[in-house]
Structure 1
């Protein structure tokens, strides 16, 4: 294998990023079906003379002068996408460049972050005497919080001290992120004929229980993420108009702040409710990086801002200090005719490099 270049012009990196993004957009990559995009990512690094490793549909690599005695900074984002919604007016699998934008499914979430981080890794790959190793991991199943993405890969990665998670944040720093707790509940009552009195109607009892919890506020408020948010996202009961059902089923979507672990939030919510609750998982916890962390301070010195993110990402399952940052706008994610501005990719590459130059 040839030696990689040691110096790349920013224009060259931008061109490589745009070319790669267009290729990835035109390869369907739904969660659990990311093999073809993983091959395209492998080919990108191969073409740039960088050896890669594969674990399932996750592709990762380390810098040329990797040193086991040094801590590592991880560059991570995902190459899976959601399925396109029915409101698309453009072909979601056709990369269309117009009006300074690139349209296509996954262009904003998180294709722009992926191709930008890939160029950043290229930029630093052959540099010697860095204070940190640099690892890039472009992973699968983020959109479904799957178990075969970064969660499965992370134990194989060497000595990661900080993870930079690429998601659309307008290149500002999401220094805290809400966790996700999905709770299924059941309220039981006494089944009966609808024509007869019933003071133990499961639906009526459930509605009262839900009204109580939706008005309840967990006492701790996060500086960056505010209050824990509880949303009723589903309810089901009864199949016949003349039968009072025995059970009423419901689902709560709980966005947990760094003030609580998911388990703590669940226990508090259960204590407030008469329904029987079951958590689908406790694994997607909130995350936080301190404001005085060198990476955050480097970003602030370049005029970037910090905020708390209400949306979840692979940060929830990365077991080390992490920060979410990437080109694009989160409000465009999962929308019809998704797009990214070309200038956002150029800016993303530049800002990533400038921050890491202060840290590495």
Structure 2
């Protein structure tokens, strides 16, 4: 067990080092090196695939269940509103500025501190697997999804994202659907053709009004929004094809595939999902880790934003220092005391579960 003050010091120093290194999605090799070096210097054996780094506690026991501690080290690109150097980890009035400080560097270094806190302890009820993942910001194929098969059996996960250390017990999934209504071309002046726009309108109205039978306690109904439409080539030709796009925010009441099946049963257009990878996720409020958090005064809620939770098929809790409202903002920052409090809360929550 390591002194908590040292954990906080080391964590904030590591975060400063990570901020100094550009780590846009797919370009995280140098931050991956820094994370590996940080762990190895503390006696931890690391594993790596592409820019993903992971490690296990010292007394890993295959007979015990395993908790995944995951956060990401890639960032978006700085937006045009920045007034400071996004790669300069300046501290002013208790704020640590820098790209990725809030999303999700503070979460990552805090979870690494928690991992080190428990790393050498014996007789824990659970193993720990720490995974610092890449490509989260673009839901990339070479991020967490790439290494999950290599991590071994996992019982549940804590995914580090800024939640003000409140308990995000559910997260919406996302499907983007490319829909095509097929008709038959004809001259607009004569009674010819089968207008694909009119056929599409019937399906669009269904997307607008349909309410799925099951609703989520956290989110309510599944939300579907038609966001793009395109048809026709000239004013006097009845269009044979009308294309439109539907944004579907799936709740934890359904799997993506279930929602897709229901949609296809009700519309006449061709429906193709761009992907079903970004799944809704949830964890029971009766789960020991949630109950431990609630016992420490944390509240539960459903998160509207997507994270690496979407790539996991196990119960997962999104929890971390920082504020989601600061993510991707100009002059991004996290409070130093948020990191300190986050490390303490993570440890106190997990002690109730693993000791």
- Give the TM-score range, shorter chain: over 0.9
Matched-pair contact (CA < 8 Å) for 2:52–2:143: yes
Secondary structure of 1:203 counterpart: helix
Secondary structure of 2:125 counterpart: coil
Matched-pair contact (CA < 8 Å) for 1:203–1:248: yes
Question: Which of 250, 253, 257 is 2:247 aligned to?
Answer: 253
Secondary structure of 1:354 counterpart: helix
Alignment of 1:171-210 (within 5 A): 171-192=165-186, 200-210=194-204
1:71 aligns with 2:55: no
Question: Which of 225, 249, 258 is 2:219 aligned to?
Answer: 225
1:127 is matched with: 121
Question: How far does residue 88 in structure 1 lie from its aligned partner after superposition?
Answer: 2.6
1:99 is matched with: 93
1:306 aligns with 2:300: yes
Secondary structure of 2:279 counterpart: coil
Question: Which of 341, 349, 352 is 1:355 aligned to?
Answer: 349
Question: How far does residue 239 in structure 1 lie from its aligned partner after superposition?
Answer: 5.0
Question: Which of 224, 229, 233 is 1:235 aligned to?
Answer: 229
- Which stretch of structure 1 is more off in the superposition, 42-51 or 174-183? 42-51
**Structure 1 residues 219 and 123, CA gap change in structure 2 (3 angstroms):** same
Question: Which of 204, 207, 210 is 1:213 aligned to?
Answer: 207
Question: How far does residue 196 in structure 1 lie from its aligned partner after superposition?
Answer: 6.0
Query: Could you tell me the TM-score, scaled by structure 1's length?
Result: 0.92
Deviations 1:295-347 (A, max 9, x none): 11110110001111122211122122211111111222222222212121111
**Structure 1 residues 148 and 212, CA gap change in structure 2 (3 angstroms):** same
Question: Which of 4, 7, 10 is 2:2 aligned to?
Answer: 7
Distance 1:75 1:145 in 2: 18
Distance 1:7 1:327 in 2: 20
Secondary structure of 1:160 counterpart: coil
Secondary structure of 1:335 counterpart: coil
**Structure 1 residues 353 and 249, CA gap change in structure 2 (3 angstroms):** same
Question: How far does residue 11 in structure 1 lie from its aligned partner after superposition?
Answer: 2.2
1:82 is matched with: 76
Matched-pair contact (CA < 8 Å) for 2:185–2:193: no
- Which stretch of structure 1 is more off in the superposition, 339-348 or 209-218? 209-218
1:3 is matched with: none
Alignment of 1:137-176 (within 5 A): 137-176=131-170
Question: How far does residue 183 in structure 1 lie from its aligned partner after superposition?
Answer: 0.8
Matched-pair contact (CA < 8 Å) for 1:213–1:272: no
**Structure 1 residues 236 and 102, CA gap change in structure 2 (3 angstroms):** farther
1:20 is matched with: 14
Two-structure CA RMSD over aligned residues (Å): 2.0
Long gaps (5+) in structure 2: none
Matched-pair contact (CA < 8 Å) for 1:261–1:285: yes
**Structure 1 residues 44 and 214, CA gap change in structure 2 (3 angstroms):** same
Matched-pair contact (CA < 8 Å) for 1:161–1:320: yes
Question: Which of 107, 111, 114 is 2:105 aligned to?
Answer: 111
Long gaps (5+) in structure 1: 1-5
Distance 1:77 1:59 in 2: 11
Distance 1:49 1:207 in 2: 62
Matched-pair contact (CA < 8 Å) for 1:180–1:286: yes
- Which stretch of structure 1 is more off in the superposition, 25-34 or 175-184? 25-34
Question: How far does residue 181 in structure 1 lie from its aligned partner after superposition?
Answer: 1.4
**Structure 1 residues 238 and 89, CA gap change in structure 2 (3 angstroms):** farther
